[in-house]
A and B are shown apart, each in its own frame.
Chain A
Amino acid sequence: MMVYVIGYLLAGIAVVFVSRWVSRVNPSFQDRLNAMRESARRHIEAELYPDGAPLYWALLRILGESVAFIISVLGWPLVAFGLIQRLKGKHIDHARGTADAQAEDKGELLREVTVEEVERIELVTAGGAPNLPFGWLNPVWLTFKEQLKPGDTLWQYRYVPYEGQPLDAWSHEAEGYAIKRNGVVVAKIFSHAG
């Protein structure tokens, strides 16, 4: 019996630490909110106690965090469920993002171009930027160009913002180029956006 209890608690501790690690390396919107709350708490604490918080304040915090930790360890299946849902959600978002990107590509490929044409159009000659295609972003172009394989086609590409687009999408019209392979866009580069 005791073995099962210890096993349960150890599993709980492991799940709680994994959950915290995920929050740290890949913070969600909620984690950012929590970070802001924590920041606000620190500011209030600094206002209230400019010479340092009293001991009972620190003890209260430690007590609060300990209770939260114990509850999380005891109820670790719930924490694990939340963690799985979160990771699943990320997977779904990623898949949705890929699908969106392909849908955008279908509608916004403007015309086929050659590498030489792109390098001529995108040559930055003003303002002290490197006198190279894509200027300061020339290394990005070189990496993009390396992805071209025999049989691929290069297309001028335009992104037009649309209602309900992902939050991290461009807010304004953006232009660039796409590599099309077997009818599918496999890589994109933008020369200017906003």
Chain B
Amino acid sequence: MTIQSSEILMYNGKKYLFRSYPLEVYFKLGGRRVPFMVDTTACWRGYVGTWAIDNGELRLIDISGHIAEEPTKNIASRAFKYHIDYDDPKLCRRATIDAIFPGHDGPIFAHWYSAPIEAIDAESRSVQLLAEVKRGRVVSLKTEPVGDQA
């Protein structure tokens, strides 16, 4: 199985990577899912979300990926099998927060999300961030060197 691309978490000006997917939880809860183009088997969800912990809240601040337009909707989940011009506006458009949360560009408070987040420093890979999120609020958080779990 191909390793899936991580989500991005910004905290205190640092970039972390994590492999839990708050937007997938949102879609599973009944939130509006849009047809993301799956352009690689390393990202079956078709997008990468950028999140931030700000003011004690987990917030979606950006999303990257492409959303299928009418001609490509039926093949969006297996777009990697085709040679698609991702710059062609007739075929797809860049993913935006507004496409999922109409009328809002973000940040989006992830009030639906309750789970631990284990993230790793994107640059050094030597620091991990461990957070407990309840209803989108960070109830505990610590950063520590990797492998230093007490």
Residue numbers of A with Cβ under 8 A of B are: 35-36, 38-39, 42, 124, 126-129, 135-137, 139-140, 143, 171-175, 189-194
Contact = CB atoms under 8 A, between A and B. Distances in A.
A129 B109 CA distance: 6
A141 to B, nearest CB: 9
A131 to B, nearest CB: 11
Interface residues of B, number: 31
A42 B31 CA distance: 34
Contacts of A171: 20, 115
Contacts of B111: 124, 126-127, 129, 135-136, 192
B48 to A, nearest CB: 18
Contact of B113 (A36, A39, A128, A194): A194
A174 B28 CA distance: 12
A124 B137 CA distance: 12
A194 B114 contact: yes
Contacts of B28: 193
Interface stretch (B62-70, B100-108, B142-150): B100-108
Given A36-B41, A193-B114, A128 B31 contact: no
Closest 8 pairs (CB-CB, A-B): A194-B115, A127-B109, A140-B30, A172-B115, A192-B114, A129-B109, A135-B111, A36-B41
